[in-house]
Structure 1
Amino acid sequence: MNIKKINSNIFKHNFSPVILILAITILIALLNIPIMQTLWRYSFDDGTYSHAYLIPLIVAYLFYVINNNGELKYRETISLPASVLLIISAYILFVTSTAQISLLYWLTILLLFCSSIIFVFNANIKIAAAASYFIFLLPVWGILTIPLQNLSVFAAQTLMGFTTIPVFVEEQFVHIPSGVFEIAGGCSGLRYLLTSLAISTLFSFLYFRTIKNTAIFISVAILGALLTNWLRISALIIIGHQTEMTSDLMTDHNMFGWYIYIPFMFLLFKFGGYLADKENNKPIASDSSAKLQLNTPNGQLGVVLFIILLFSSTSLQMSATTEPETKLKNVLVQPIIYHASTVEVITNSSIKTQLIYNFSESNLESKPTFYENNFIPKNWLVVSKVISNEEQVIKITKGLKTATITVSYEISELKFGSSSRFKLERLKQALLGKRKTKLHWQFQLNTINAQAINSHTKKVLL
């Protein structure tokens, strides 16, 4: 009877810190449903981040390992540095979500989670590393796509130089006698890089004790991921050349890269085992059956944490729903704009159209800089674009017609032509709690060109 009581007590103390971390995670998610909704849309529902479903389970396991080693200890009193970090994180989340800057509020909510854990538990590198592992879930890695794409083009050109196949590279297009290959964003190797980073970081956390071996192992993992993608591209070009572009791999080559990457992954684990044996290291998870967490959480810390998280909540100030594409029935020429709350038609004629889009202040996706917005009407082609302080002027053409589109972003009666300058101003205005934005869009048909077309039409009809 006494043995059962002792075992029950050990079980309670052993698992309670992990349960509390789970509760903090759920609380932050519920208080920030709009942000969670964007994460679901651009992370869990995106093929590039197909590993996202595993990340929460891995984070839970990492904290379980730390707790079993007796390194997950509650703070007995409020820490001033931890409190300052938590308050700053909450305020930054408020500012970045008010400014509707996706990349920043995704990173900030991770910072808020990390600072919340550090606020409740005594901080150490392992706790910070485990909490930061959520970085592999966030859709912030897209900024690496273009650099990786350019690097892949250069690497493919270099590797093909060792073959006898004539190759001509123009931007992201690789020309061979049998056809043309496009090294698009999906061929950048980002998927392999993310997988390597996630696996190598997890392996290092469990098996390495030195920074040196950790750095070596992660570097090899990154290099291997890049090399895998370069070999994949080169192999596809060679196969395309040998088969006259008739191979099934020319249309379905997503799995082909994984066939190359999986053998590398086994070699990577073997190399990691060699490094671990060299420093006489063992998995942390199996070490520490006797190190148990016996202190209890401080209730005051929990109350303070809840209040701070409540004040930074985006669920209380923003909507989790999104509006569909905004279309006007009576306007023939118009852009493709999503999530606008209202649209004002200033001018509407065959020569000139002027629209003002207003965006909701309580919706993260309702913004002029939404990534799917397209200022160019359907079936028109861009000739040139000039960006000035207050507007951007885009020359477009469609057959014999030419026209000019003028676009301006507005916030607090200030207009900007550059989206980056507009985002910076949104951050400044967010510090003051201002977030109402507008998009000014104007279409002006070239009147001389229009008259020529009309004259030509009349002559044909006569």
Structure 2
Amino acid sequence: MIKGNTLNIKKINSNIFKHNFSPFILILSITILIALLNIPIMQTLWSYSFDDGTYSHAYFIPLIVAYLFYVINNNGELKYRETISLPASVLLIISAYILFVTSTAQISLLYWLAILLLLCSSIIFVFNANIKIASAASYFIFLLPVWGILTIPLQDLSVFAANTLLGFTTIPVFVEEQFVHIPSGIFEIAGGCSGLRYLITSLAISTLFSFLYLRTIKNTATFISVAILGALLTNWLRISILIIIGHQTEMTSDLMTDHNMFGWYLYIPFIFLLFKFGGYLADKENNKPITSDSSAKIQLNTPSWPLAIILFTILLFSSTSLHMSTTTTPETKLIDVLNQPIIYNYSTVEVITNNSNKTQLVYNFSEDNLESKPTFFENNFIPKNWLIIGKVINNEEQVIKIKNGKRTAVITLRYEISGLKIGSSSRFKLERLKQAMFGQTKTKLHWQFQLD
């Protein structure tokens, strides 16, 4: 009798494990499959996210996302679709096409966002959509190196805030662009002082806390808003205090050369206060009755094989690995030209020399490498030891006036795709997106140097 009960208990426990973990394992499988089908994009994420100090938290993001889906699964909120959803199917197909076009056009910011959209739509295609599932999958946004676009606005805001705060002191201050002039010296509020790291950290922490402990939109919005405001205020105080210390010590304090940790000493106490505030909001919600139906925790049937085949086919269609090679390490090939730009990842280059004062280089780029493009962010069109003194951009070319000592020269720059020459990099990226829809991907860069 006892043996029989033992066998029944083991069987029940086995069924519970399978019942609870099969949706969670499927989520992991979909995520891994999308990553394997898009190795070139994964390599760019490794280079610009995991290996970048601003995104040093990236290692924790996959673990946090896995934990969030584990929590959702244990709460019975991962429910398989019983039938194929037309809106979810359309969203999946559109996401796959967007990823294909943006990766073909080699637009980094867009294909990073597109692959996140594809992951979210793939999960929604298999499971009934709800805000919890969408939030958990979207948490990967903190891993993507897309936040750099906020650096300049945050930098400008920091300059304005620091100038305002220093107005309450007796220190004479003169602000010119990102430079703060005081009698003791000059402070530069550079991109690293924009507060982007504090902002990303606050958003990641507050979003995670809200997901786990808050239920209402009002409290979630309040908590995240306080987290954002605290991150910005911490950075503004850090800059202002450093300027005051620099003034009082005649720029001799050690903080003038090593001030990164100083900001975290201010930020960490704020995080403790933020969690205390979050606990207060959560306690208020816990005093209210929960209206969710416990029967919602019952799992539905597993998806049919046709659903899995459709998903795999669409993911295979959008695979970056099928039409892109893995990203190579950027390298500069030597050209026997006196004055030349620094261009990475080009396939071939043609040197056209008309006379002693004029040199033209035509760079050709490979269409099967995500980093092989005229707009690669490390490309430098200005020769070594030359400075920019003027720039004019028109429809077909970009004219840059430069100088080196008493010598002056003119650089003429043209981006080319499908025979169309463009002067603006933003217009060139837009044209690449248009051409990618029709399979046109070959690009060139025309660089001309002429002494005045």
- Normalising by structure 2, report the TM-score: 0.95
How far off is 1:246 after superposition?
1.2
Matches of 1:293 and 1:250, distance apart in 2: 59
Q: Please show how residues 54-65 of structure 1 align to structure 2 within 5 Å.
A: 54-65=60-71
Residue 404 of structure 1, CA deviation? 0.7
CA distance in 2, matches of 1:200, 1:369: 35
Match of 1:181 among 181, 184, 187: 187
1:129, 1:321 → 2: CA distance?
Answer: 30
1:293-442 correspondence runs (5 A): 293=299, 295-322=301-328, 324-347=330-353, 350-442=356-448
8 Å CA contact retained: 1:67, 1:293: no
Letter in 2 for 1:230: W
Distance 2:386 2:219 in 1: 55
Q: What is the distance in 2 between the residues matched to 1:281 and 1:43? A: 41
**Deviations, residues 24-44 of structure 1 (Å, cap 9, x unaligned):** 111000100110111111111
How do 1:71-86 and structure 2 match up within 5 A?
71-86=77-92
Of 21, 26, 36, 1:15 maps to: 21
Matches for 1:26-105 after TM superposition, within 5 Å: 26-105=32-111
AA aligned opposite 1:228: T
CA distance in 2, matches of 1:108, 1:375: 30
1:154 corresponds in structure 2 to 160
Query: Contact 2:77–2:296 at 8 Å: present in 1 too?
Result: no
Report if aligned partners of 1:178, 1:240 keep a CA contact under 8 Å in 2.
yes
Greater Cα shift, 181-190 or 315-324: 315-324
Matched with 2:255 is 249
Give the superposition deviation at 1:183: 0.3
Determine if contact 1:75/1:298 at 8 Å carries over to the other structure.
no
| Per-residue deviation, 1:295 | 3.0
How far off is 1:280 after superposition?
1.5
Specify the SS of the correspondent of 1:369. coil
Q: How many residues align?
A: 443
Deviation of the 1:79 alpha carbon:
0.9
1:326 shift after superposition: 3.0
- SS of the residue aligned with 2:379? coil
Structure 1 unpaired stretches of 5+ = 447-462
Give the CA deviation at 1:288: 8.2
Partner of 2:128: 122
CA separation in 2, counterparts of 1:247 and 1:401? 41
C-alpha distance in structure 2 between counterparts of 1:21 and 1:82, whole Å: 16
Deviations 1:2-40 (A, max 9, x none): 101111110111111111111111100010011011111
Aligned amino acid, residue 61 of structure 2: I
- Equivalent residues of 2:81, 2:300 under 8 A apart: no
Q: Taking structure 1 as the reference length, what is the TM-score of the superposition?
A: 0.93
**Do residues 200 (structure 1) and 206 (structure 2) align?**
yes
Aligned partners of 2:355 and 2:182: how far apart in 1?
49
AA matched with 2:425: S
Q: Report the CA distance shift for 1:290/1:144 in structure 2 as closer, same or farther (over 3 A).
A: closer
Quote the offset at 1:251 in angstroms: 0.8
| Equivalent position SS for 1:374 | coil
Deviation at 1:244, TM superposition (A): 1.3
Structure 1 Cα separation of the partners of residues 199 and 389 of structure 2: 36
Q: Distance in 2 between matches of 1:142 and 1:288?
A: 43
Give 5+ residue unaligned stretches, structure 2: 1-6
Equivalent-residue separation in structure 2 for 1:207 and 1:326 (angstroms): 51
Question: Equivalents in 1 of 2:327, 2:200: separation in Å?
Answer: 30
Question: What does the per-residue CA deviation read over 1:259-295, in whole Å, with 9 as the maximum and x for residues that have no partner?
Answer: 101100010011111111112169x9xx989946363
CA distance in 1, matches of 2:272, 2:395: 54
Give the distance between the partners of 1:374 and 1:332, measured in 2 at CA. 15
Q: Check conservation: 1:70, 1:288, Cα contact below 8 A.
A: no
In the alignment, the residues of structure 1 paired with residue 97 and residue 271 of structure 2 have an alpha-carbon distance, to the nearest angstrom, of: 41
Which residue identity is paired with 1:34? Answer: P
SS at match of 1:237: helix
Shift of 1:322: 2.0
The answer on 1:280 being equivalent to 2:286 is yes
| Structure 2: distance between partners of 1:3 and 1:325 | 62
Contact 2:397 2:413 in 1 (8 A): yes
Helix, strand or coil: the match of 2:286?
coil
CA distance in 2 between partners of 1:254 and 1:83 (Å): 47
Partner Cα separation in structure 2 for residue 323 and residue 273 of structure 1? 47
Q: Per-residue CA shift, 1:396-455, capped at 9, x if unaligned?
A: 111121111100000000000000111111011011011100000000111xxxxxxxxx
Change (3 A) 1:290 1:381: closer
Could you tell me the percent identity over the aligned residues? 87
Aligned residue type for 1:340: Y
Q: Partner amino acid for 1:111?
A: L
Residue matched to 1:270: 276
Q: Which moved more, 1:238-247 or 1:342-351?
A: 342-351
SS at match of 1:325: coil
CA distance in 2, matches of 1:202, 1:289: 26
- State the shift of 1:77 in Å: 1.7
Q: How much does 1:230 deviate?
A: 0.3
Cα distance between partner residues in 1 of 2:213 and 2:355: 69
- Which position in structure 1 is the counterpart of 2:4? none
8 Å contact kept, 2:39–2:326: yes
One of 211, 216, 222 as aligned partner of 1:210: 216
Any conservation in 1 of the 2:82–2:300 contact (CA below 8 Å)? no
Letter in 2 for 1:295: N
Distance, in Å, in 1 between the alignment partners of 2:330 and 2:21 is 45
Tell me which residue corresponds to 1:457. none
